[in-house]
Structure 1
């Protein structure tokens, strides 16, 4: 019996036929606009009336909110996919502008709704939450109420949302335009190749150091060539945010990202403190890798280099089947969800020019379907990325029966599910290695993940923190951004590298995302938090999936500190949990060092 051949190209026609020319999608946008207006009219009516809204009124508003939010998220997900699959799709870029405007309009209506929640006194609010339908939404509604109380008036917040279309989100879209025009010209196998940034990035895992260096030099040159445009974009994004914070009386630029991630600054500080004190083993790994590669010191472009001269390649079909096999060892639901994703063409993995760099998962709530985007070239890291994004998908699947308001989990816990899925596959890869060379390569893949999450992400956090501190005083030049990035990388990597990547601030999409400020530390949180969950899963065996799903269901309805205490009996504000999680990373490093000692 021949194994199923899974498509490497996703199906978007299920949602709207015709791509960026879709008439169905045009109608969907119009219907979404009408829903937003209806929601605004409904909440505005009660805001301007003399009578107070009761639980029945709030329920009616929430029902319309849920319908509207689903339509808007469906539209946003579709446009994301269109732009990612073809960076030169001009119509998709125009549609991005339309969805951005709709999002701003909806945000204005939500501002009115939130102000309405904030208008209740404590006694009145407690009375509202006695309603059975609203009591299950108590956490998220109270959170919205408290956040509204910290902001400006509804009129002022509405103006901010309106100005954000061109003055904030527009700059985020500018980044997409700039990246879409960047091509990396590389000479490989005797011919000149024009690569997209996504294809070029995959070359950093080539066994050929001369190719890696060539790509890196061209990569630096390409991003540096756009530095003036990108520095202006980054400065305007940060400037807009900081001005909004100033209007609201927020002094700490970490206030919003911490609030959005439902975590305390004490937790964040403790996490970074424990990581900083435990970098030495990772530095030893970097030094050992340099020895194994026969060079004095690793450069940035060597970090993902394979130790074997024989490049490990795994076909998409083999990678898919391996992931499914490992997920089935963990639990039936994760395996069934992932199999459906492969069989129903939910994944865009084809290695072709014109695609966006990186990978992502997005959810279509009206269709209850996920879509996963990446460029699969057969490297072990590609398999990790695929497992990672399927983890995101399983998270949304686990919450599918919950009210939409109870499904809006923060980024830090979103990265927990994805990293957990990665670990299942990574551990299995090491255990199933056929040769010592293969085992070493796969073990190193795990260690590389620790380097990325505990060093690379730390560098991003240090850079962005220092950039925001300087941006408060005025614009920061491209030259200074390079200096800040190089300094952050040297500190985060313990001065272990010979050559760094000063233009990383320009090449990393995460610095330009308008929806989430500080798109960095949640990754590290999610990685270490998932290690704690994974340790528990290993201890309890296959039956753990039910507990895991219960944890995922709670991720959008409590703080991360409460989530950890409830499901892991761990206090995240204390170093003990973080030490135990980091130790699991160190264990991998020690095993790597032991395996390579005789080489």
Structure 2
């Protein structure tokens, strides 16, 4: 790995010139032509009446897959442009253009799904046995089943077209709201204006006074924006609910569960195990309050560090440590990570104007990854970096497969990322010699459990109840804040003295249009990866290959099938989930022992 890593990513190798790139413009122009061609073809084609008729679709499937792949490339690139500079107006325009192209591709997909639905069962069975399409049998069969639960292709196409400036338009409007968020911060007597991303980092500051002061300003700022955010959230939910109603779908969880290829039974089994084990984590929160010298933790205290890590961790140090720990599990994972650092695939610089949060996006045509975050030298930042690299490795493994078999859902995507994060976090805790540093790193691990078992549970409860209310009309900003606070109090079992009523406004995840209920898949990923980590510890070095094979199957199986094939476990029962949470409980027990002398 290079001895001096860049804190900024290289986008020039993809499309030189950024949002003014001629290559990108030409790329989009050619894609637009090709999308029109496949749309014209599929609109004038009937369902195959015999096995010979299915051969006519070989060329279409190849052309369609190419369009999907290139649209994904453009979408990822444009999202990078918007994230690195929220004032890049051309990137906003490009985002609209790409969204429109993706809507057209989805319209083609709806027409193709209708043909799949209309194909005779006997012909279908023969079709799926043809060598040319056999590897795609899962995704094609899945598309066929989905089509049977949707509207006519004409109406589905209309909904997709209207969604560009309606549904997706509202999602993009939220990005505009966030880009104007500026939060004042007292930096040694001088007031500086922080972007939402920079301000969010201050909420994790070791100083309680700094955290509380920033949290007050954070709430105040989002209160000022609440009407804009409430309008946006209401219209996003309204669009979904109306579409679900027209399709005849009863439950609001039908779409997210279908997208995540998991059953309600699996979701219920996971949450039930978490709820049953929450008392252990409440004891941790109570102990943390005692250590901080308060009766109960406030919302801003939940993620406060306990113990101290000696100084800030430089980006170079973080990179070297991550590669080192990844190598203990898998040389392939370490090699990929070195490549990502050396090839400047990561945007980590702490500067104004960037979008808050972190993400990993894959460039399907280039077979590359780009990772976005704001690195400030904290242990939490190191965890985020490892997390996003786990995402990148997952896609790296998928690059070998047919593009239509690479569409894996968020819940299994979060499995790879949290597994990678766990490798680093666990290794750092075990290697720490100084008690204060060991305590800090252990507490950082437990913070993940709190986030996934309590914070994200509150998001799930909030969103479920919000949609129930939204069926009866618009929900006011005041009602949204009340719902949010009630959900947080329930999810944290009343363990906090104060909550974050405007969390619904500040959190991007509620406004993402591609994935409804952008919450429980995180918890699934954390729990599933923890269960995998338990298995990795039991099986040793041989598990790395099994892990890679499991990740490669994530685009062609339900999660229940995936767990059965590669782990021989049943996700609809409590046993696997309990084995995973036992590891998290062990962390809390160790924390309680280490801090007994502090209270």
Whether TM-score is above 0.5 comes out as yes
Is the 2:139–2:405 contact (alpha carbons within 8 Å) kept by the matching residues of 1? yes
The verdict on how the C-alpha distance between 1:561 and 1:310 changes in structure 2, with shifts beyond 3 A counting, is closer
2:62 is matched with which residue?
A: 63
Matched position secondary structure for 1:142 = helix
Once the 2 structures are TM-superposed, how far is the Cα of residue 188 of structure 1 from its aligned partner? Answer: 2.4
Counting only pairs closer than 5 Å after superposition, residues 360-509 of structure 1 correspond to structure 2 as 360-509=359-508
Instruction: Give the whole-Å Cα distance in 2 for the aligned partners of 1:426 and 1:443.
Output: 8
The verdict on how the C-alpha distance between 1:468 and 1:191 changes in structure 2, with shifts beyond 3 A counting, is same
Once the 2 structures are TM-superposed, how far is the Cα of residue 304 of structure 1 from its aligned partner? Answer: 1.5
Instruction: Give the whole-Å Cα distance in 2 for the aligned partners of 1:218 and 1:463.
Output: 23
Instruction: Give the whole-Å Cα distance in 2 for the aligned partners of 1:413 and 1:48.
Output: 33
Give 5+ residue unaligned stretches, structure 2. Answer: none
Instruction: Give the whole-Å Cα distance in 2 for the aligned partners of 1:257 and 1:48.
Output: 29
Q: For structure 1, which segment, 190-199 or 46-55, has the greater mean C-alpha deviation from structure 2 after superposition?
A: 46-55
Give a deviation string over 1:452-509, Cα, whole Å, max 9, x none. Answer: 0110110000000000011011110000000000000000001011110000000000
Instruction: Give the whole-Å Cα distance in 1 for the aligned partners of 2:365 and 2:547.
Output: 25
1:85 is matched with which residue?
A: 84
Is the 1:46–1:52 contact (alpha carbons within 8 Å) kept by the matching residues of 2? no
Is the 1:440–1:592 contact (alpha carbons within 8 Å) kept by the matching residues of 2? yes
Once the 2 structures are TM-superposed, how far is the Cα of residue 45 of structure 1 from its aligned partner? Answer: 2.5
1:525 is matched with which residue?
A: 524
Is the 1:188–1:211 contact (alpha carbons within 8 Å) kept by the matching residues of 2? no
Matched, 1:238 2:226: no
2:23 is matched with which residue?
A: 24
Instruction: Give the whole-Å Cα distance in 2 for the aligned partners of 1:405 and 1:461.
Output: 30
Matched position secondary structure for 2:518 = coil
Is the 2:51–2:127 contact (alpha carbons within 8 Å) kept by the matching residues of 1? no
Is the 1:312–1:380 contact (alpha carbons within 8 Å) kept by the matching residues of 2? no
Instruction: Give the whole-Å Cα distance in 2 for the aligned partners of 1:286 and 1:32.
Output: 53
Once the 2 structures are TM-superposed, how far is the Cα of residue 531 of structure 1 from its aligned partner? Answer: 0.9
Is the 2:425–2:441 contact (alpha carbons within 8 Å) kept by the matching residues of 1? yes
* TM-score normalised by structure 1 residue count: 0.98
Matched, 1:578 2:574: no
Is the 1:207–1:308 contact (alpha carbons within 8 Å) kept by the matching residues of 2? no
* Aligned-residue RMSD, C-alpha: 1.4
Counting only pairs closer than 5 Å after superposition, residues 533-552 of structure 1 correspond to structure 2 as 533-552=532-551
2:38 is matched with which residue?
A: 39
Is the 1:55–1:131 contact (alpha carbons within 8 Å) kept by the matching residues of 2? no
Instruction: Give the whole-Å Cα distance in 1 for the aligned partners of 2:467 and 2:586.
Output: 35
Instruction: Give the whole-Å Cα distance in 1 for the aligned partners of 2:496 and 2:56.
Output: 60
Instruction: Give the whole-Å Cα distance in 1 for the aligned partners of 2:423 and 2:578.
Output: 21
- Give aligned pairs, total: 598
Instruction: Give the whole-Å Cα distance in 1 for the aligned partners of 2:47 and 2:32.
Output: 22
Instruction: Give the whole-Å Cα distance in 2 for the aligned partners of 1:413 and 1:110.
Output: 23
Once the 2 structures are TM-superposed, how far is the Cα of residue 303 of structure 1 from its aligned partner? Answer: 1.3
Instruction: Give the whole-Å Cα distance in 1 for the aligned partners of 2:536 and 2:279.
Output: 28
Counting only pairs closer than 5 Å after superposition, residues 253-292 of structure 1 correspond to structure 2 as 253-292=252-291
Counting only pairs closer than 5 Å after superposition, residues 155-170 of structure 1 correspond to structure 2 as 155-170=154-169
Is the 2:2–2:342 contact (alpha carbons within 8 Å) kept by the matching residues of 1? no
Q: For structure 1, which segment, 443-452 or 289-298, has the greater mean C-alpha deviation from structure 2 after superposition?
A: 289-298
Is the 1:205–1:304 contact (alpha carbons within 8 Å) kept by the matching residues of 2? yes
Is the 1:460–1:520 contact (alpha carbons within 8 Å) kept by the matching residues of 2? yes
Instruction: Give the whole-Å Cα distance in 1 for the aligned partners of 2:406 and 2:460.
Output: 27
Instruction: Give the whole-Å Cα distance in 1 for the aligned partners of 2:510 and 2:518.
Output: 7
Give 5+ residue unaligned stretches, structure 1. Answer: none
Deviant stretches of 4+, over 4 Å = 48-53, 309-312
Instruction: Give the whole-Å Cα distance in 2 for the aligned partners of 1:57 and 1:433.
Output: 62
Instruction: Give the whole-Å Cα distance in 1 for the aligned partners of 2:189 and 2:485.
Output: 34
* TM-score normalised by structure 2 residue count: 0.98
Instruction: Give the whole-Å Cα distance in 2 for the aligned partners of 1:387 and 1:220.
Output: 30
Give a deviation string over 1:562-593, Cα, whole Å, max 9, x none. Answer: 10111111101111111111111111111101
The verdict on how the C-alpha distance between 1:49 and 1:420 changes in structure 2, with shifts beyond 3 A counting, is closer
Is the 2:460–2:517 contact (alpha carbons within 8 Å) kept by the matching residues of 1? yes
Instruction: Give the whole-Å Cα distance in 2 for the aligned partners of 1:593 and 1:421.
Output: 26
The verdict on how the C-alpha distance between 1:53 and 1:474 changes in structure 2, with shifts beyond 3 A counting, is farther
